[in-house]
């Protein structure tokens, strides 16, 4: 979808890598606050910012603690995030064929 490497957790996009940046899917309620952290910026892959998705440059992931912070936020939100409707249909069709 984005020309990078994406890691899925529970069939939902969680984190990814695009060039040198980490893409993190975070809780939209902490989106504005997260933009204040070093290296973090809006994910504007399509030219329009996507609330709940951020890019973090290497300066924001340059230590184990910094990287763990972003991955932790993404994993925490993953439990609340919804699977896309399109993905749900694909999974339902896959499971119905197995029966």
Q: Where are the domains of the chain?
A: 5-98
For the chain, first and last CA: distance in Å?
A: 30
5-98, CATH topology level: 3.90.1150
Which segments within the chain are labelled E, that is strand? 5-9, 12-18, 21-25, 40-42, 53-56
Token representation of residue 97: 């064929």
For residue range 4-57, what is the model confidence (pLDDT) as tens digits? 888 999 999 999 999 999 999 999 999 999 999 999 999 987 788 888 999 999
Token representation of residue 75: 């994993």
Please answer whether residues 14 and 90 qualify as being in contact, where contact means their C-beta atoms are separated by less than 8 angstroms: no
Please answer whether residues 55 and 47 qualify as being in contact, where contact means their C-beta atoms are separated by less than 8 angstroms: no
Bridge-partner residues for 95, per DSSP? none
Q: Which residue has the higher pLDDT, 1 or 31?
A: 31
Q: β-strand 53-56 against 21-25: which pairing, if any?
A: antiparallel
pLDDT of residue 67: 97
């Amino acid at each position: 979808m984005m020309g990078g490497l994406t890691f899925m957790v529970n069939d939902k996009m969680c984190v990814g890598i695009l060039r040198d940046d980490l893409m993190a899917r975070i809780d939209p309620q902490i989106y504005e606050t997260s933009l204040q952290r070093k290296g973090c910026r809006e994910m504007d892959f399509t030219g329009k910012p996507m609330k709940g998705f951020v890019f973090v440059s290497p300066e924001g992931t340059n230590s184990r603690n910094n990287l763990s912070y972003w991955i932790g936020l993404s994993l925490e939100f993953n439990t609340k995030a919804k699977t896309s409707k399109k993905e749900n249909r694909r999974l339902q069709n896959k499971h119905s064929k197995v029966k």
